[in-house]
Amino acid sequence: MGQTNIIECSRCSGLLLAAGDKKTRTCPYCGARIDTKSARKLASAEDAFTASEVLRELKKQKGFNRTQL
Ligand SMILES: [Zn+2]
């Protein structure tokens, strides 16, 4: 596992992880195919584990889990 980026889906604004060497990624929320190079990158981490931790924090900040409160 190498560098992993946290990117935003251009269609639904969902946050997802993309390995640094991947050119495209399918959004797990809306199914859109995302070009990882042109997608908005919110953060990056040295490995997938750290990236998932960061992703969780970003989702919290974005209020993605609001419905669970
Ligand atoms: Zn999406």
DSSP string, 52-63: HHHHHHHHHHHT
Spacing, Cα 37 to ligand 1 middle (Å): 16
What confidence score (pLDDT) does residue 12 get? Answer: 95
Identify the sign of the CA torsion 60, 63, 68, 69: positive
Domains of the chain: 4-68 (3.90.820)
Spacing, Cα 24 to ligand 1 middle (Å): 13
| Contact (CB, 8 A) for 9 and 39 | yes
Cα separation of 4 and 49, whole Å?
A: 9
- Mean pLDDT in runs of 10 for the chain (69 residues)? 91 94 95 96 95 93 60
What confidence score (pLDDT) does residue 68 get? Answer: 47
Spacing, Cα 69 to ligand 1 middle (Å): 23
Spacing, Cα 9 to ligand 1 middle (Å): 5
Spacing, Cα 55 to ligand 1 middle (Å): 15
